[in-house]
Chain A
Amino acid sequence: MAGHSNGDDIRSRLMKVVWGYGTLIGLLILVVVFSLASDTFLRLNNIVNILRQISMLAIIATGLTFCMVTGDFDLGIGSIGSLAGVITVSLLVKGYPTIVGVLAGMATAAVFGLANAVLVTRAGISSFISTLAAGSVATGVTFLYTQGQAIYGRMPSAFAFIGRGYVGPIPAPVVLMILVVALGEFLLSRTRTGRYMRAIGGNMAAARLSGIAIEKYRGLGLVFSSLGAGAAGIILASRLGSGQPTAASGFFLDAISAAFLGQTVLRDGRPSVIGTFLGVLIIGVINNGLTLLGVSYYWQDISKGIIIVLAVALATLRPRLGSH
């Protein structure tokens, strides 16, 4: 240590900042690059646009984060989101009020979350398998219910507001996103429930030997994950003004990517709501920026994949490089 020159010291400190805030720095670099490459990128209405585009992704990814915190995973969120949207729309088209449709959609999602919770915590099935199966069942139910057709019809204006309305200058889905993310962050970092969930994810054996009801909180994580999917699916249905059988399926990969990117934010590499939100922002900025630059949709997928692998690889290297 004593032999280190001043330059080395500055460099090591710089490295610490890069490793510590690498994901955030990556986001800033993306923003700078896109704002130089496109003059519309930084315009207010584009920023509002980005926020609206990411709002549903942020909600579904926040839910997913909760089940990842306890060490589980949810592969069914895309399908469950679609089903929730379809159920809601179908009821509204039949003339039920908005509140009934939305609650029915959310309840459907909750049923799938509870089924996962029971299968994982009582039957001891891995959450990978359980949620994969749940997703498959949800897809099947959706297609049986809709016969593969999109559901259209007259719907209450209150429902249209969820996805297309504005609160002042802010789109309603963005308001919902802010509420969900803020509530999620509070729940995870400042409440007893969140503390228990993090303890379970950090060391399940130690949590059990501290008397924590593991089953309850792992189950809760899986239910939150499904509820996030349901909410995102319903908002999407409102934006689209119809119930599409595969509408929310596309969220699945982006949500997982966002959560993984989010894990690279914290030093200890654990999931967090804020981290996931940062991951969502990165994905939103990439999608939006590449679209503005006229890059083909297929290239967007490829570049997203590469960026995610790079970010996670760097985060994995971090502890090893940072240790000396």
Chain B
Amino acid sequence: MRVTPPLLEMQGICMEFPGVRALDNVDLVLHKGEIHAIVGENGAGKSTLIKVLAGAYRPTAGRIKIDGSEVRFTGPRHGLASGIGVVYQERALVPSLTAVDNILLGQEPARFGVLDQKAMKARAREALDMIGASVNMDVPVAELSAGDQQLVEIAKIALMGPKIMVLDEPTAALSDHEIESLFKLLRRFREQGMGILYISHHLNEIFELADTVTVLRNGKVAGHGPIQDFTTADVIRLMIDRDLSSQYVKEPVEVGPEVLRTEGLTCRRIGIYDVSIIARAGEIVGLGGLMGSGRSELASLLFGAVRPDSGRVYVDGREVTPKSVRQAIKAGIYLVPEKRREFGLVPVESILSNITLPFLRDFSPWGIVGTKAEHEPVEKLMRELRVKARKATDPVATLSGGNQQKVVVAKWLTTKSGRVFIFDEPTQGIDVGAKTEVYQMMLNLAKAGAAIILISSDLRELVAMSDRVYVMREGRVAGEVGGEHLDGEAVLSFAMGGV
């Protein structure tokens, strides 16, 4: 029996964005001196939950109580005033300022508007002592190690004396040794009575550190309780959505000879190490893994957007190792990039000029564009793909997300020489109908003898559409699953390294 009310109580929190329910009736209780882990797949609602707590989002429904009394946040500063300090995944430090300046940013002691340098240094020292850290306070934080930067950030939050500290993927950039020190620090905070919310993909960390766990799935709480009541397998099972609807279009396609092969593909600059994969004609090969595991980076290597340090790429048995996008395209490797408005389209230009952009030479006799030689094939392709638009010369930005995505795919369908099609998050932010059509396009290409690489953070989509999946972790292929072994659990186990 507890007499005192919990430190933090979230009741029935809902957060809706247009068309998406990011949080659905989420309850969460955090007591003094408790480390509470929050886990979930990409897009399960972890980040949204943090933003609600920090006061960056105002929930559409639900209540937040701190020490038993309800609070209503009106902005990020309000969250802090109520005793909630958040250490975000993206560093919130100003790289060119020193640790002292960063720790006291926004709360500098000043006399008549002039910074009191001495007092600042003393305060910063105090904050760092409080967390038992010693970092160089006189150089720009950009020159500090990732671990020291993390400490500076924690010191900054600690100085405000929060009752609750939220850490979002705090170990992402830390070495093993630094992780160990961080855990020590968090345990000390716990002894001092602080409540800690710890968000992480690394299940082993969670089992080492946390007292309790909440598993989120699709914005809902899928399970919660004391950590000793769970095994790693339990947590993974809870994270996976079993709702297999029929939106996936998958038929068996006869698998032909090998089309794509990479051998030891490595690029330190973007963190890809020794990737060797193959994809055969007619195969849809998935690339699984968590955010930041190197899937899109691998795609940019295959597509020649980044040059590898070492390793080779073969297409149809011929070495092509592209040094530029043009070479990749020439070799028949095509990329449908993620974030179509950022990487796939020129939004102000017409549908027509977007579609013909990669192979414009084929549609511009004597260098002249906009003739029948361009309009006719494009309009035919638009009809085939059912791109819903008034006319081909409308700006592509006027189309819906699904139709925009069809245009991005169409860019690579104006020629028949495609051998490897890389689809990076092809169904992100498009409606169900358009999703099905994108799956159908992938399938048609596979049937025509191309190899398909599918990168998706949507585990259900990845498992449903792929014949085989390479799971990436920290820039390497951590495992390969296929056939009857291909399911969400298997992919997630490799991705999280929890096996």
Are A and B bound to each other? yes
Residues of B within 8 A of A316 (CB): none
Q: Is the CB–CB distance between B325 and A206 below 8 Å?
A: no
* Contact flag A195-B411 (CB < 8 Å), given A209-B325, A209-B335, A210-B358: no
Q: Is the CB–CB distance between A206 and B367 below 8 Å?
A: no
State whether the Cβ of B361 lies closer than 8 Å to any Cβ in chain A: yes
Q: How far is the CA of A155 from the CA of B329 in the complex (A)?
A: 55
Which of A20-28, A34-42, A197-205 forms contacts with chain B? A197-205
Q: Is the CB–CB distance between B395 and A211 below 8 Å?
A: no
| Chain A residue at minimal CB-CB distance from B363 | A192
Residues of A within 8 A of B335 (CB): 209
| Chain A residue at minimal CB-CB distance from B305 | A209
Chain B residues 303 to 361 lying within 8 A of chain A, measured CB to CB, are: 303, 305, 325-326, 328-329, 335, 337, 342-349, 353, 357-358, 360-361
Residues of B within 8 A of A195 (CB): 353, 357, 360, 364, 369
Q: Is the CB–CB distance between B357 and A207 below 8 Å?
A: yes
CB of A20, distance to nearest CB on chain B (Å): 14
CB of B23, distance to nearest CB on chain A (Å): 29
Q: Is the CB–CB distance between B345 and A211 below 8 Å?
A: no
State whether the Cβ of B132 lies closer than 8 Å to any Cβ in chain A: no
Q: How far is the CA of A212 from the CA of B361 in the complex (A)?
A: 11
Residues of A within 8 A of B345 (CB): 203, 206
Residues of B within 8 A of A191 (CB): 364, 367-369
The 8 Å CB contact of A205, one of B326, B343, B411, is: B343
State whether the Cβ of B370 lies closer than 8 Å to any Cβ in chain A: yes
Residues of B within 8 A of A193 (CB): 367
Main secondary structure of the interface of A (DSSP, over half): helix
| Chain A residue at minimal CB-CB distance from B324 | A211
* Contact flag A268-B346 (CB < 8 Å), given A195-B353, A209-B325: no
Q: Is the CB–CB distance between B326 and A199 below 8 Å?
A: no
Residues of B within 8 A of A190 (CB): 368-370
Residues of A within 8 A of B347 (CB): 202-203
Residues of A within 8 A of B364 (CB): 191-192, 195
Chain A residues 113 to 168 lying within 8 A of chain B, measured CB to CB, are: none
Q: Is the CB–CB distance between A202 and B349 below 8 Å?
A: yes
Q: How far is the CA of A190 from the CA of B367 in the complex (A)?
A: 8
Residues of B within 8 A of A212 (CB): 357
Q: How far is the CA of A194 from the CA of B370 in the complex (A)?
A: 12
| Chain B residue at minimal CB-CB distance from A212 | B357
Q: How many residues of A contact B (CB 8 A)?
A: 23
Contact with A along B364-403 (1 / 0, CB 8 A): 1001111000000000000000000000000100000000
CB of A197, distance to nearest CB on chain B (Å): 11
Contact with A along B411-444 (1 / 0, CB 8 A): 1000000000000000000000000000000000
Q: How far is the CA of A270 from the CA of B397 in the complex (A)?
A: 15
Q: Is the CB–CB distance between A205 and B357 below 8 Å?
A: no
Residues of B within 8 A of A209 (CB): 303, 305, 325, 335, 337, 343-344
| Chain B residue at minimal CB-CB distance from A194 | B369
Q: Is the CB–CB distance between B346 and A207 below 8 Å?
A: yes
CB of A13, distance to nearest CB on chain B (Å): 19
State whether the Cβ of A100 lies closer than 8 Å to any Cβ in chain B: no
| Chain A residue at minimal CB-CB distance from B330 | A211
| Chain A residue at minimal CB-CB distance from B326 | A211
| Chain B residue at minimal CB-CB distance from A207 | B346
Q: Is the CB–CB distance between A213 and B369 below 8 Å?
A: no
Residues of A within 8 A of B303 (CB): 209
Chain A residues 40 to 92 lying within 8 A of chain B, measured CB to CB, are: none
Q: How far is the CA of A207 from the CA of B367 in the complex (A)?
A: 18
Q: Is the CB–CB distance between B369 and A208 below 8 Å?
A: no
Q: Is the CB–CB distance between B360 and A196 below 8 Å?
A: yes
| Chain A residue at minimal CB-CB distance from B335 | A209
CB of B22, distance to nearest CB on chain A (Å): 26
CB of A188, distance to nearest CB on chain B (Å): 11
Q: Is the CB–CB distance between A211 and B369 below 8 Å?
A: no
Q: How far is the CA of A209 from the CA of B340 in the complex (A)?
A: 11
The 8 Å CB contact of B342, one of A199, A205, A211, is: A205
Q: How far is the CA of A65 from the CA of B395 in the complex (A)?
A: 21
Q: How far is the CA of A195 from the CA of B368 in the complex (A)?
A: 10
Q: Is the CB–CB distance between B348 and A270 below 8 Å?
A: yes
Q: Is the CB–CB distance between A192 and B349 below 8 Å?
A: no
Residues of A within 8 A of B344 (CB): 206, 209
Chain B residues 288 to 308 lying within 8 A of chain A, measured CB to CB, are: 303, 305
11 other contacts beyond A191-B367, A206-B357, with CB at 8 A cut-off?
A: A189-B370, A192-B360, A195-B353, A195-B360, A196-B360, A208-B325, A209-B303, A209-B343, A210-B325, A211-B358, A212-B357
Closest 9 CB pairs of A and B: A202-B346, A210-B357, A203-B346, A210-B358, A211-B329, A192-B364, A268-B348, A211-B326, A192-B367
Q: List 29 A-B contacts (CB under 8 A).
A: A191-B364, A191-B367, A191-B368, A192-B368, A192-B369, A193-B367, A194-B369, A195-B357, A195-B364, A198-B349, A199-B353, A202-B348, A202-B349, A203-B342, A205-B342, A206-B343, A206-B345, A206-B357, A208-B305, A209-B305, A209-B325, A209-B343, A209-B344, A210-B358, A210-B411, A211-B326, A211-B328, A268-B348, A268-B395
